């Protein structure tokens, strides 16, 4: 008897659950306007040249949103801990420009050959920036 009641209850739930789902309106597809963000850097490389130990290891990369939708940078990651990128994660409207700052630790003597990968919602979602130079003793 318990099996019959349980089976009936299960069948009732399946029939009415499926019926309730079929009466909901279908979700409308999101309209793709074709507008996309597009990032353009003024330069992709910076060469410090020869820098003295403890000297200024800061450089800047200016970029512009040349697309038709807001540009959002989600991440800027360096190839090592001695290079620190700083960038705003606020949306950049079409036509606007901003600056990404990179700070290299010039207490590390020797050649500089590092990269920063910028990830965004742009058509080209990843851009690699490079820094180079040489740190020498004071």
| CATH, residue 110 | 2.60.40.10
Residues whose CB falls within 8 Å of the CB of residue 5, separated by 6 or more in sequence, listed in order: none
Domain coverage including residue 63: 39-136
Classify strands 110-120 and 73-78 as parallel, antiparallel or unpaired.
antiparallel
Q: Is residue 29 part of a domain?
A: no
State the total domains in the chain.
Answer: 1
Q: Is residue 108 part of a domain?
A: yes
Q: Is residue 44 part of a domain?
A: yes
What's the token pair of residue 92? 């950049």
Distance, C-alpha 27 to centroid of its chain: 29
Distance, C-alpha 23 to centroid of its chain: 40
Query: What's residue 35's pLDDT?
Result: 83
Residue 123, phi then psi, degrees to nearest 5: -50, -50
Q: Is residue 16 part of a domain?
A: no
Q: Is residue 3 part of a domain?
A: no
Instruction: Give whole-number Cα distances, 28 to 24, 33, 110, in Å.
Output: 12, 15, 59
Q: Is residue 95 part of a domain?
A: yes
Q: Is residue 64 part of a domain?
A: yes
What's the token pair of residue 124? 């080209």
- Burial call 50-78: b when 16+ CB within 10 Å, e when fewer: ebeeebebebebebbbebebebbbeebeb
Query: What's residue 15's pLDDT?
Result: 46
pLDDT along the chain (138 residues), means of 10: 46 46 44 78 97 96 97 96 95 97 96 97 96 94
CB atoms within 10 A of CB 6: 10
């Amino acid at each position: 008897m318990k099996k019959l009641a349980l089976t009936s209850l299960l069948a009732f739930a399946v029939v009415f659950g499926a019926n309730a789902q079929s009466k909901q309106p279908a979700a409308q597809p999101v309209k793709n306007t074709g507008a996309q963000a597009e990032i353009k850097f003024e330069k992709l490389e910076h060469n410090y040249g020869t820098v003295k130990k403890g000297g200024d290891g800061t450089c800047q990369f200016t970029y512009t949103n040349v697309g038709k939708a807001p540009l959002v940078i989600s991440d800027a990651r360096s190839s090592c801990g001695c290079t620190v990128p700083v960038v705003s994660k606020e949306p950049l409207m079409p036509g606007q420009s901003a600056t990404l700052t990179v700070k290299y630790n010039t207490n590390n003597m020797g050649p500089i050959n590092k990269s920063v990968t910028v990830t965004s919602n742009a058509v080209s979602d990843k851009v690699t920036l490079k820094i180079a130079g040489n740190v020498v003793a004071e």
